[in-house]
Amino acid sequence: MSWDPIWEKIYSERSWGKYPATDVVRFIARNFYFSENRKQVKLLDMGCGTGPQLWFMAREGFHVTGVDGSKTAVRIANERLDAEVPGWNGEVVEGDVVSLAYENEYFDAVLDIGVTPTTSFEVAQRIFSEASRVLKVGGLLYSRCLAKGCWGDDTGEEVAKNTYLVSEGPMVNQGAIRFTDKSEIQSLLPSDLELISIEVMSYGMEDKPVKQWMITAKKLGN
């Protein structure tokens, strides 16, 4: 199992993530707004949570799929989509992102907005391999992961390399959190995912920044 059950507790006890991230809006707009028939553009959000990215993409007319390990998050996402995006196309299901129930080369893009930082390095590699499997040739992966030097890095109990039960920062009480050095990014991806860009996003206080890598990769052909 790739997800920490603590997230079921989190989603059950408090509201979480209602609106889409601006970097996701930019990624979708940059790569898919030109599509002639958006209903035929299939977008997957791995670890979708309560569905803020799905809500945005469905409102824009795309075919959306969300997978999350939390039954509460899946219920909330489906209820909101049904209520606020009548006639939306796709599905939100409970599942494990290391073993997706979709055929090879099915999706035009796969999103990882904070899933892999909650897993070990090895599990993250498996998740990215599975993302590549379900991506069409030429399809895009967009992943956001916490960077070394982010607030919370090297605090609390270290449970694996660069992975902590952090004692400070916004990730406190969210299970084990892994921080990624830029030099590790390429080794996280399978050989058929070609890195296109690595951008950095940083916000917060100067001495306590929340720093994330924004990774875009493309599925290569045989």
The pTM of the whole model exceeds 0.85: yes
Average pLDDT estimate for 168-177 = 92
E-state strands within the chain: 42-46, 63-68, 89-94, 107-113, 135-146, 157-160, 163-165, 177-178, 193-205, 208-219
Q: Are 78 and 97 in contact (CB under 8 A)?
A: no
Weakest mean pLDDT among 4-18, 64-78, 115-129: 4-18
Please tell me which residue, 103 or 204, carries the higher pLDDT value.
103
Tens of pLDDT, residues 125-147: 999 999 999 999 999 999 999 99
Q: Quote helix, strand, coil % in the chain, to nearest 5.
A: 30, 30, 35
Decide if pLDDT at 80 tops 90: yes
Decide if pLDDT at 190 tops 90: yes
pLDDT at position 17 is 75
User: Residue holding tokens 């109990």?
Assistant: 157
Please tell me which residue, 150 or 14, carries the higher pLDDT value.
150
**What is the C-alpha end-to-end distance of the chain, expressed in Å?**
30
Average pLDDT estimate for 47-69 = 97
pLDDT band at residue 18 under the 50/70/90 scheme: confident
Decide if pLDDT at 156 tops 90: yes
Decide if pLDDT at 87 tops 70: yes
Q: Are 168 and 151 in contact (CB under 8 A)?
A: yes
φ, ψ (nearest 5 deg) of residue 82: -65, -40
Average pLDDT estimate for 28-53 = 96
pLDDT band at residue 1 under the 50/70/90 scheme: low
Decide if pLDDT at 16 tops 90: no
pLDDT at position 45 is 98
Decide if pLDDT at 9 tops 90: no
pLDDT at position 211 is 96
pLDDT band at residue 2 under the 50/70/90 scheme: low
Gap between the Cα atoms of 48 and 74, Å rounded = 8
Gap between the Cα atoms of 20 and 110, Å rounded = 15
Angle of the 52-59 helix axis to the 71-84 helix axis, nearest 10: 30
Average pLDDT estimate for 84-94 = 97
